[in-house]
């Protein structure tokens, strides 16, 4: 059974979410911790600025408890401290949630494209760590298809839609035309690039301060701006009006003492920080300094709500896509449940026919030439296929209506089939190979 346990911007404030933030170098350890629980057959760990979730194929409540334990260990916090913020979903609700997450229907910024890339990154990490098999893998691959259909068949993601674009919209609300104000991007990753796209060119341009000067310079050049080394951050704060921070640092990069010194150089001129990083880049104490204002990702919700109104008309169409794909996946899943019975029935029937044929070929028909023997074997295969076509078709049709389990038990009893493997068996794991879509289960 597929389960989801996690927290998001809907259930936990940023100071809680940042406890769970996971860098790429730590992710293998987290996946190994999940894999150490026998209740979890497959698992994926998704960590973004607005959500931390574990997708898993496991055994019901035992799987949920195992994930909760792993999350507590990861956050270094007792269960009583984080449990109020966690949600859990199982079976139908879990699959639907995974589809909605990938399609950005559960994002703070409805329609934002970044989440799909983040889910794909989590998928890749699980494949590389050997924690992803064919069942959960099939589910997540179907989620990718849902996201693609939502983006191509609706206008949910039209235009620039991201936390970064919302941050820039907030800056424009505060200052009006930004062309006359200095904007500093601290960090040069995807979120900084998205902010730069929203800002565009012109005016005073964009300044970028990043640990990698080469990366910072490339981003600045692409948008007609200038770059500065990270060691010059304090000087850059003194000349900026709006600062958008989005580094991957696990600790604060902007401290109160640094800002106080910068404000002296600014002679008290107002300075705005928009911190879209998780963990946060700006020490909350900075907000207490006179004429300095700090907004974090949770503070952007009002702007997000206003943007949601324009996209609400597309939500119904997107949800309908999710509903249809969920029905198709569950139909496939139920068919998968009866497949062992189909295989066992065909194997036993073929074994009986083959044994009788071999007995005859060793006795009264031993004079037959190889060509005639091959013809008889081919006839036997054809007879098995024709005999079992109707039972197989009706069993799969019953499974599609969620009636397959009872019929499968009847067949197992009537034909005395051997004990069949269940979905609790260890799944076939996916191998890490280059490329994305080429290795996803079809």
Q: Catalytic site residues? A: 49
Cα–Cα dist 350/344, whole Å: 10
Which three-class secondary structure state does DSSP give residue 332?
A: helix
- Give the closest residue to 123 by CA, choosing from 39, 206, 27, 219: 27
Which three-class secondary structure state does DSSP give residue 2?
A: strand
Structural contact between residues 62 and 39, judged by C-beta atoms closer than 8 angstroms = yes
Helix (H) or strand (E) holding 85: none
- Give the closest residue to 134 by CA, choosing from 42, 5, 223, 244: 42
- Give the closest residue to 32 by CA, choosing from 125, 138, 94, 121: 125
Cα–Cα dist 328/321, whole Å: 11
Instruction: Tell me how far apart the terminal alpha carbons of the chain are, to the nearest angstrom.
Output: 19
Structural contact between residues 308 and 110, judged by C-beta atoms closer than 8 angstroms = yes
- Give the closest residue to 211 by CA, choosing from 185, 229, 191: 229
Helix (H) or strand (E) holding 348: helix 301-361
Cα–Cα dist 98/138, whole Å: 12
Cα–Cα dist 272/254, whole Å: 13
Tell me the backbone φ, ψ of residue 111, rounded to 5 degrees: 90, 0
Which tokens in the block code for residue 134?
């064919």
Q: Identify the DSSP state of 277.
A: -
Peptide bond into 382 cis (omega under 30): no
Structural contact between residues 271 and 263, judged by C-beta atoms closer than 8 angstroms = yes
Q: Which residues are paired to 88 by β-bridges?
A: 5
Structural contact between residues 66 and 40, judged by C-beta atoms closer than 8 angstroms = yes
Which tokens in the block code for residue 26?
């730590």
Structural contact between residues 50 and 107, judged by C-beta atoms closer than 8 angstroms = yes
Cα–Cα dist 325/341, whole Å: 26
Cα–Cα dist 147/247, whole Å: 27
């Amino acid at each position: 059974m597929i389960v989801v346990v996690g927290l998001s911007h809907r259930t936990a404030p940023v100071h809680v979410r940042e406890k769970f933030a996971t860098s790429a170098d730590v992710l293998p350890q987290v996946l190994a911790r999940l894999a150490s629980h026998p209740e979890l057959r497959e698992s994926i760990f998704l960590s973004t600025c607005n959500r931390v979730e574990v997708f898993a194929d496991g055994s019901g409540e035992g799987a949920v408890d195992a994930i909760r334990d792993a999350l507590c260990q990861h956050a270094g916090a007792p269960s009583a401290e984080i449990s109020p913020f966690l949600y859990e979903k199982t079976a139908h609700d879990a699959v639907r949630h995974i589809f909605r997450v990938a399609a950005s229907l559960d994002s703070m910024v409805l329609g934002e494209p970044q989440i799909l890339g983040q889910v794909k990154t989590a998928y890749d990490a699980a494949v590389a760590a050997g924690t992803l098999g064919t069942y959960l893998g099939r589910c997540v691959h179907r989620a990718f298809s849902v996201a693609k259909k939502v983006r191509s068949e609706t206008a949910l993601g039209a235009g620039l839609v991201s936390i970064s674009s919302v941050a820039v919209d907030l800056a424009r609300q505060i200052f009006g035309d930004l062309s006359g104000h200095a904007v500093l991007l601290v960090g040069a990753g995807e979120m900084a690039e998205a902010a730069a796209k929203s800002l565009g060119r012109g005016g005073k341009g964009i300044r970028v301060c990043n640990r990698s000067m080469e990366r910072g310079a490339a981003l600045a050049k692409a948008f007609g701006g200038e770059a500065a080394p990270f060691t010059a951050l304090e000087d850059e704060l003194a000349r900026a009006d709006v600062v958008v921070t989005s580094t991957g640092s696990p600790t604060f990069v902007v401290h109160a003492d640094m800002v106080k010194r910068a404000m002296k150089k600014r002679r008290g001129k107002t300075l705005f920080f928009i911190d879209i990083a998780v963990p946060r880049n700006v020490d909350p104490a900075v907000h207490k300094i006179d004429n300095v204002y700090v907004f974090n990702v949770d503070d952007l919700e009002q702007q997000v709500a206003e943007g949601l109104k324009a996209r609400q008309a597309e939500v119904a169409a997107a949800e309908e896509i999710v509903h249809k794909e969920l029905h198709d996946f569950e139909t496939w899943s139920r068919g998968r449940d009866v497949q062992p019975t189909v295989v066992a029935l065909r194997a036993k029937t073929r074994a009986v026919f083959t044994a009788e044929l071999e007995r005859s070929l060793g006795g009264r028909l031993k004079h037959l030439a190889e060509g005639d023997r091959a013809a008889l074997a081919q006839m036997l295969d054809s007879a098995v296929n024709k005999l079992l076509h109707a039972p197989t078709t009706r069993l799969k049709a019953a499974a599609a209506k969620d009636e397959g389990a009872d019929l499968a038990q009847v067949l197992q009893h009537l034909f005395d089939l051997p004990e069949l493997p269940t979905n609790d068996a260890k799944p076939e794991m996916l191998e890490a190979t280059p490329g994305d879509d080429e290795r996803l289960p079809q």
